[in-house]
Structure 1
Amino acid sequence: MTYVVTENCIKCKYMDCVEVCPVDCFYVGENFLVIHPDECIDCGVCEPECPAEAILPDSDDKATAWAEINRTYSTQWPNITRKGEAPADAEEWNGKPDKAKLLSPEPGKP
């Protein structure tokens, strides 16, 4: 099992999860984070740290569609090991539905 970053992270990207990850398995996109499934050790410390509640175990039905997205972008985006600044409008985006279409494939800055 692994953890998966899901839709609510899009345009929120708080990054609190990055600080607590003991194996540095987060990768950063322009407006989204992903977890590399082969690096995640399933410790679960990231899940409660996410203010947007966007991190779920891959066994959760809500995570299924996002597992492949995490796998794909974790091989294309740079690794992130330190918490950065969340977008200024992150709170406005938290909880908004249908954000999947806003996911940018562009890499972010670690």
Structure 2
Amino acid sequence: MAYVVTEPCSGCKYTDCVVVCPTDCFREGEQMLYIDPDDCIDCDACRVECPVDAIFYEEEVPEAWQSYIALNREMAAVCPPIVDRKEPLGPRDPTKG
């Protein structure tokens, strides 16, 4: 199992999670980040750093966002790694966490 980036990351792309990841398992897409499930070691460091509560343990992904499990695997295979903090795409939406 692995952690999964879900809907709240779409359009904001905060990188607080990236800089605490000990295995560099994050990948950067155009509108959001993804976690490579083959590199994730389930350490939980990223989940607590996410300012929009977008990261869930795979078994705890809300029903509405189950498709993000496969999406993370798919996109992690084609998106480049990201290991450094970057400016987010937009301001934090207070309705998303």
TM-score (norm 1): 0.80
Shift of 1:83: 1.1
Cα deviation 1:46-67 (Å, max 9, x = unaligned): 0010001000000014153211
Flag structure 2 segments of 5+ consecutive residues without an equivalent: none
Q: Could you state the TM-score of these two structures normalised by the residue count of structure 2?
A: 0.90
1:90 corresponds to: 91
Identity over aligned pairs, percent? 42
Moved more, 61-70 or 7-16: 61-70
2:96 counterpart letter in structure 1: G
Alignment of 1:10-29 (within 5 A): 10-29=10-29
In structure 1, give the amino acid aligned to 2:68.
W
- Note closer, same or farther for the CA distance 1:44–1:4 as it changes in structure 2 (3 Å cut): same
Q: Would the alpha carbon gap of residues 21 and 61 (structure 1) be closer, same or farther in structure 2, given more than 3 Å must change?
A: closer
Residues in 2 aligned to 1:7 and 1:27: alpha-carbon distance in whole angstroms? 15
Contact 1:36 1:70 in 2 (8 A): yes
| Partner secondary structure for residue 34 of structure 2 | strand
The equivalences for 1:1-110 within 5 A come to: 1-62=1-62, 64-87=66-89, 89-92=90-93, 95=96
Aligned residues: 95
CA distance in 2, matches of 1:70, 1:13: 14
The 3 A distance-change label for structure 1 pair 36 and 29 is same
AA aligned to 1:29 is: G
Question: The residue matched to 1:59 in structure 2 has which SS?
Answer: helix
4+ residue runs of structure 1 moved beyond 2 angstroms? Answer: none
Please, what is the CA RMSD of the aligned residues? 1.7
